[in-house]
Amino acid sequence: MLSALHNEVENIYNQVFARDIQTLAICSTNPREGCTTLAQLLAQRCLLTGNRTLLVDLNSHHSSLAPLLILNKEREINQGTSLLAPPQLIETDKQAMIGIPAPKRKEAILKLRAPDKLKQQIDTWRKDFDCVIIDTTPLSRVNHNNIPGDVVAGSCDASILMVKAGETTEEMVEASLAQLNKQQANIIGTVINDQNNPTLKDELLRKATNLKKAKYIPACLVNRLIRNIHSSKLLNLNI
């Protein structure tokens, strides 16, 4: 997992929170596009700045946050009377922070599907936190068991659309943007996840390394090619 101080995370953080944004929804078209990872990294970055930060899991399709501890049975019982658990210490891949796990009760999910109820809930978080970052359900997973990601985005100050290069098609992105625009979501940008989309340099190195298996090509020529790829200024440019 990337560090919260990685250049890419820093660039996203600066571009988002320089706009005086308090509530941010991280959206995606399909599962496993990187929403949860980005939400956690941005939350960690906000904490490093000294902001009161809340990480909210509204991805009812695949929840990722779990309470670090439950103080007593009374808290478990009280959660049955409210739509969401109260802000509490939760565990992420990197550290503990204040967060809210995804709701599991069907009654709560159905009520939170209503934009007015959801917005009311988000407004209560504004009073206590400087930054509220929400991980949402993939936009393609629309059913009565999930809280729609576009509804969450429309209730926040801004939203980011994650796109997984090499997997998410142009038609999928256009459909997702249409959903978000229908909810009047403020889409401030798109983040490309190129985890499965290697750079030209990586692909050339992979091909060159495979040449070592060819008995008719001298190893010295292959090694020279690999060194040239590594030292190429053009191939080492960050775009």
Tens-digit pLDDT profile for residues 64-80: 777 766 654 445 444 45
Q: Could you tell me if 112 and 118 are in contact, meaning their C-beta atoms sit under 8 angstroms apart?
A: yes
Residue 29 pLDDT greater than 90, yes or no: yes
220, part of any domain: yes
237, part of any domain: no
102, part of any domain: yes
- Residues 6 or more apart in contact with residue 152 via CB below 8 angstroms: 25, 27, 58, 118, 134, 136, 137
Q: Could you tell me if 60 and 134 are in contact, meaning their C-beta atoms sit under 8 angstroms apart?
A: no
Are 88 and 206 in a shared domain?
A: no
Give the tokens for residue 185. Answer: 């979501």
Are 124 and 209 in a shared domain?
A: no
Residue 5 pLDDT greater than 90, yes or no: no
Are 14 and 102 in a shared domain?
A: yes
Are 106 and 56 in a shared domain?
A: yes
Q: Could you tell me if 162 and 193 are in contact, meaning their C-beta atoms sit under 8 angstroms apart?
A: yes
| Element at 24 (helix H, strand E) | strand 23-28
Are 96 and 39 in a shared domain?
A: yes
Are 70 and 125 in a shared domain?
A: yes
Least confident of 14-28, 84-98, 143-157, 213-227: 84-98
12, part of any domain: yes
70, part of any domain: yes
Are 87 and 151 in a shared domain?
A: yes
Q: Could you tell me if 53 and 103 are in contact, meaning their C-beta atoms sit under 8 angstroms apart?
A: no
Are 98 and 134 in a shared domain?
A: yes
pLDDT of 6 reads: 83
Residue 21 pLDDT greater than 80, yes or no: yes
**How many domains does the chain contain in total?**
2
Confidence of residue 237 (pLDDT cuts 50, 70, 90): confident
2, part of any domain: no
Inter-helix orientation angle 219-231/200-210, to 10°: 170
Least confident of 20-24, 27-31, 233-237: 233-237
48, part of any domain: yes
Q: How far apart are CA 55 and CA 43, in angstroms?
A: 6
Average pLDDT over residues 204-228: 88
CATH number at residue 142: 3.40.50.300
Q: What is the pTM of this model?
A: 0.79
Residue 163 pLDDT greater than 70, yes or no: yes
Nearest residue to 160 via CA among 195, 130, 186, 126: 186
Are 95 and 212 in a shared domain?
A: no
Q: Could you tell me if 27 and 136 are in contact, meaning their C-beta atoms sit under 8 angstroms apart?
A: yes
Are 85 and 131 in a shared domain?
A: yes
236, part of any domain: no
Are 226 and 136 in a shared domain?
A: no
Give the tokens for residue 156. Answer: 């926040």
- Residues 6 or more apart in contact with residue 144 via CB below 8 angstroms: 109, 110, 113
pLDDT of 77 reads: 40
Q: How far apart are CA 16 and CA 10, in angstroms?
A: 10
Are 121 and 212 in a shared domain?
A: no
Residue 221 pLDDT greater than 70, yes or no: yes
**DSSP string for 120-162:** HHHHHHHTT-SEEEEEE--TT--STTS--HHHHHHHSSEEEEE
Domain that holds residue 63: 7-193
pLDDT of 197 reads: 74
pLDDT of 143 reads: 81
Least confident of 30-44, 82-96, 137-151: 82-96
| Higher pLDDT among residues 71 and 232, named by residue | 232
Mean pLDDT of the chain: 86
Confidence of residue 94 (pLDDT cuts 50, 70, 90): low
Which amino acid, one-letter code, is at 17?
A: F
pLDDT of 239 reads: 57
Radius of gyration from C-alpha coordinates of the chain: 21
pLDDT of 73 reads: 44
